[in-house]
Amino acid sequence: MTLHSDPSVAPDARSFVDVATDSPFPIQNLPFGAARLSNDRERVVSRIGSWIIDLAALDAAGHFADTPAAGKALFDLPSLNRFSAAGRPTWRAVRSRLAALLAADAPTLRDDETLRAAVLHDSTNVTMLMPMEIGDYTDFYSSREHATNVGTMFRDPENALLPNWLHLPVGYHGRASSVVLDGTPVRRPRGQTIPADADAPVFGPSRLLDFELEMGFFTGPGNALGEPIPVDQADAHILGLVLVNDWSARDIQKWEYVPLGPFNAKNFATTISPWVITLDALAPFREAGPVQDPKPLPYLQESDAWSLDIQLEVALRTETMRGEGHVIARSNARHLYWNIRQQLAHHTITGCNTRPGDLMASGTISGPTPDSRGSMLELAWRGTQPLSLPGGEERRFLADGDEVILRGWCEGDGYRIGFGEARGIVLPALEG
């Protein structure tokens, strides 16, 4: 059930820019990111089809002069932080102006060859950058299916969820410095693990390396210290969403997590996709959220609770495979029990302040079926049910040389809102 419509771009809108029908970046998307252009300028950008849009060039030509972005110098920068701090009226106005300039019947950009050459850049000649300078990173644990699977494995089905899980969005503070961009290799971590039936730990490479299929959102203006963000105002502080792979070393985690939770098991790498997909672009794909029982405390209750219909998949490409790998899991962001507004409201209810560019991740997104489980821990059920791959290979956990590819999209009527990819290939652990 669609509860909202996109105020900026009609579902049947078309651009003068040639966009393939299966492109993840039609005029209905217009995401935001940061890139190094072919002229070596690092700029805030958007995208349509296979073209990168230089927003600083449009700004210099005066096309944002009558918007809230005017005079704020938001685009001639290597990250989205200042743009994110400007707030929803500015985000919406810039995206709306982009849609108007790119429309099929709009001559301003279409018929000005000089301006078009300055603004539109072939994506094959562009290097994407981290979209944000990330000050803080928080990872939640918001999929009931995932939490139930893990609790069933390590406790028992009758006590799969701990007593607090249905009352608050469980989370932990991650490591912002090791958040990396799509395509960055990930080194297998080393650390302490406890062998079966051993009395003392050993040190060495993780043998149970895993991925986690997640979504994340970037914060916008933020709140002052001591002033929580109300749940029904939270979307004014969310610029948009990205794909997240929160890599995990399960054997290191097993030994270290009592009593304070993950530490070295997750601090070595978190991969994100480069494009921030706005809440306006995702608005047509909002759905009624899952029934929350028991009813949350008042600060987590929403007047219009919603989730997002974002289709997700994980592909695994081993060293012996050709092509784009083998899809091993398909899930959907609608499976999240706690939504992004509740996550942000809970994070700030103590008065904790957020800042532009903070990253909040959902936690592993698993669905109700075996093929919708969002981690190797679940897909191979703690290694007891190896995953069969084409060519006769099997995986209980990730091997050196494996490449994990996360993809996500929303399927509209005749168009697709895509997130791109979050890729990472596993490198061997350092020796010594």
CB 385 within 8 A of CB 397: no
Instruction: Dump pLDDT digits (tens) for 263-287.
Output: 999 999 999 999 999 999 999 999 9
Do 91 and 225 lie in a common domain?
A: no
Q: For residue 265, is it within any domain? A: yes
Q: Which domain holds residue 264?
A: 137-427
Do 152 and 116 lie in a common domain?
A: no
Q: For residue 20, is it within any domain? A: no
Span 325-329, average pLDDT? 97
Quote the DSSP letter at residue 156: -
Do 249 and 284 lie in a common domain?
A: yes
How many domains does the chain contain in total? Answer: 2
Helix (H) / strand (E) element for 54: namely: strand 51-54
pLDDT recorded at residue 7? 64
Do 238 and 99 lie in a common domain?
A: no
State the Cα–Cα distance between residues 211 and 245, nearest whole angstrom. 6
Phi, psi of 100 (to 5 degrees): -65, -40
State the Cα–Cα distance between residues 289 and 301, nearest whole angstrom. 12
pLDDT recorded at residue 1? 30
Do 113 and 151 lie in a common domain?
A: no
Closest CA to 357 of 189, 62, 164, 138: 138
Domain boundary among 76, 101, 129: 129
Average pLDDT, the chain: 96
Span 215-244, average pLDDT? 98
Do 189 and 171 lie in a common domain?
A: yes
User: What single-letter amino acid sits at 134?
Assistant: I
Is the peptide bond preceding residue 368 cis, with omega within 30 degrees of 0?
no
Among the options 4, 63, 121, 146, which is catalytic? Answer: 146
Instruction: Dump pLDDT digits (tens) for 24-52.
Output: 999 999 999 999 998 899 999 999 999 99
CATH of the domain at 216: 3.90.850.10
CATH of the domain at 98: 2.30.30.230
Q: For residue 220, is it within any domain? A: yes
Helix (DSSP H) and strand (DSSP E) numbers for the chain: 10, 26
Instruction: Dump pLDDT digits (tens) for 116-146.
Output: 999 999 999 999 999 999 999 999 999 999 9
Q: For residue 14, is it within any domain? A: no
User: 205 has which bridge partners?
Assistant: 190
| pLDDT confidence bin for 4, thresholds 50/70/90 | very low
Domain boundary among 81, 96, 129: 129
pLDDT recorded at residue 215? 98
Alpha-carbon distance values, 280 to 50, 203, 307, 391 (Å): 21, 48, 14, 43
Do 105 and 169 lie in a common domain?
A: no
| pLDDT confidence bin for 242, thresholds 50/70/90 | very high
Instruction: Dump pLDDT digits (tens) for 281-321.
Output: 999 999 999 999 999 999 999 999 999 999 999 999 999 99
pLDDT cut 90: percent of the chain above it:
94
pLDDT recorded at residue 6? 58
Q: For residue 275, is it within any domain? A: yes
pLDDT cut 70: percent of the chain above it:
98
Do 148 and 115 lie in a common domain?
A: no
Do 162 and 280 lie in a common domain?
A: yes
Does 335 participate in catalysis according to the annotation? no
CB 391 within 8 A of CB 359: no
Domain boundary among 79, 103, 129: 129
State the Cα–Cα distance between residues 285 and 417, nearest whole angstrom. 10
Is the peptide bond preceding residue 11 cis, with omega within 30 degrees of 0?
no
Do 123 and 218 lie in a common domain?
A: no
CB 208 within 8 A of CB 383: yes
pLDDT recorded at residue 432? 75
Per the listing, tokens 């995702």 go with 282
Instruction: Dump pLDDT digits (tens) for 333-350.
Output: 999 999 999 999 999 999
Q: For residue 15, is it within any domain? A: no
pLDDT recorded at residue 3? 36
Q: For residue 235, is it within any domain? A: yes
Is the peptide bond preceding residue 274 cis, with omega within 30 degrees of 0?
no
Q: For residue 191, is it within any domain? A: yes
Do 125 and 169 lie in a common domain?
A: no
State the Cα–Cα distance between residues 231 and 298, nearest whole angstrom. 10
Between 408 and 196, name the one with better pLDDT. Answer: 408
Do 339 and 305 lie in a common domain?
A: yes
State the Cα–Cα distance between residues 131 and 34, nearest whole angstrom. 5
pLDDT recorded at residue 156? 87
Alpha-carbon distance values, 212 to 196, 286, 348 (Å): 24, 23, 25
The whole model's pTM is what?
Answer: 0.97
For residue 296, the SS3 value is: coil
Span 150-177, average pLDDT? 95
